[in-house]
Amino acid sequence: MLKYAMIGGGPGAFVGEVHRTALALNGQAKLVAGCFSRDLEKTRTLGAELGVAEDRLYATPEELSRLEAGDIDFAVVVTSNEAHYPNVKACLENGIHVMCDKPFTHTSAQAEELVELARDRGVFLGVSYTYAGYPMVRQMREMILRGDIGAVRFINCEYPQGWLAEMLETTGHIQAEWRADPVRSGGTLSLGDVGSHIEYLVPHVTGLKVTRLAARLDSLVEGRLLDDNGTILTEYDTGARGMYWYSQAATGMVNGLKIRVFGETGGLEWFQEDPDILHHMPLGESARKIRRGTPDLTPGAMAYSHTPPGHPEGWLLAFANIYTSFCNTLVDGEAVDFPTGEDGVRGVRFMEVCLESSKNDTAWIDMT
């Protein structure tokens, strides 16, 4: 099993926990070291909870980055955006593979420097653009690659959210505060936060490169200092055209990432809020709903699929919830709400009675 260290992701940090959960699900790597916070006490408290050995909890990322290659296999950097650059750099300089949260760095000069460094030291460097991990995004990519829709002509990709339709940054809302601060965010609010997902997804799925763009960034909410909405016209190396729209001020929208790709012989559409379906519209034929887990899947999409068709992947979390109630019961010695043996008895009896009724020409059976 691989061993990893985490920089950032202290108590209450949402994204750090997501990375740890993803790695737990994945089952290939184990957390063995951490510098979760600038406050060593916080790092120690969380480290204890997570079962990290005390001598592998560090006050600064620099100390952590001096771990030997044998001690850890890779580091996960999930600090606030402005600290990505120095932390990733420290790790790479010490020959440690890195997975960094997105957006990567504040400037492209910094980003290029890190990539150079990784190349020099011969280590791997990743940036966690989550949406590439969806099975049906992989399906879309592989279908386009194998020519299912012919040459791509036009791409419409949008990512509207609505949670910043109010001026949250002045209300003490932590997530809004640093994102909306020109200094800490690196000069963009929503372009960095959600537009960046569009930027990654389109070339990932289509294989095209942007050659030219024109953008209008808007601050729709009065008083906001940075962009909360934007429209971008694009042109690609094949002559294809595109348009992107991102927003965090689209009142009432939740997390509406949608990508539509139109080619010579078909169209494809994927919507993140209904992620198990890829809509395929072949020229001149009825549209098809390609579903995760079914025989129409490409090998890459099949490899990324964890649950049977029709079982949303959150089904695993439903399972986990049952165990949470059960474990809480054991810890507290008092039954919390989970399906019990009594429920099991009732269930078995129900089946027996159904069989009996059915054998008797649908006779009514009393169950009291």
Give the tokens for residue 80: 């606030």
Residues ≥6 apart with Cβ < 8 Å to 340: none
Work out how close the CB of 180 gets to a second copy at its nearest, in angstroms, rounded to a whole number. Answer: 15
# residues near a second copy by CB under 8 A:
179
Q: Which of 53, 74, 52 is nearest to 65 (CA)?
A: 74
Reference 129, options 197, 41, 220; nearest CA is 197
Among positions 56-85, residues that touch a second copy (CB under 8 A) are 73-74
Among 65, 79, 105, 298, binds a second copy (CB under 8 A): 105
**Are the beta carbons of 266 and 149 closer than 8 angstroms?**
yes
Convert residues 235-274 into a mask of x (bound to a second copy by CB under 8 A) and - (unbound). Answer: --x---x-x-x-x-xxxxxxxx---x-xxxxxx----xxx
The rounded distance, in Å, linking the Cα atoms of 56 and 125 is 22
Residue 353 in the binding site for a second copy (CB under 8 A): yes
Which 198-227 residues touch a second copy, going by CB under 8 A?
199-200, 203-204, 210-218, 220-221, 227
Query: In this complex, which beta carbon is closest to a second copy, that of residue 55 or of residue 367?
Result: 367
Pick between residue 9 and residue 256 the one whose CB is nearest to a second copy: 256
Instruction: From 5-13, 37-45, 55-63, 232-240, give the range in contact with a second copy by CB under 8 A.
Output: 232-240
Q: State the sign of the Cα–Cα–Cα–Cα dihedral 120, 121, 123, 124.
A: negative
Burial of 339 (0-12, 13-18, 19+ CB in 10 A): exposed
Binders of a second copy in range 113-152 (CB under 8 A): 114-115, 118, 124-135, 149
SS3 355: helix
- Rounded Cα distance between 363 and 293, Å, is 40
Looking at the DSSP bridge assignments, the partners of residue 6 are 34, 76
- Choices 5-13, 36-44, 63-71, 284-292; region in contact with a second copy by CB under 8 A: 284-292
CB of 56 to a second copy, least distance (A): 18
Smallest gap from residue 59 Cβ to a second copy (A): 26
- Span 309-348, contacts to a second copy by CB under 8 A: 309-324, 326-331, 335, 337-348
Is residue 125 within 8 Å of 88, Cβ to Cβ? yes
Query: According to the binding rule CB under 8 A, does residue 97 interact with a second copy?
Result: yes
CB of 24 or CB of 39, closer to a second copy: 24
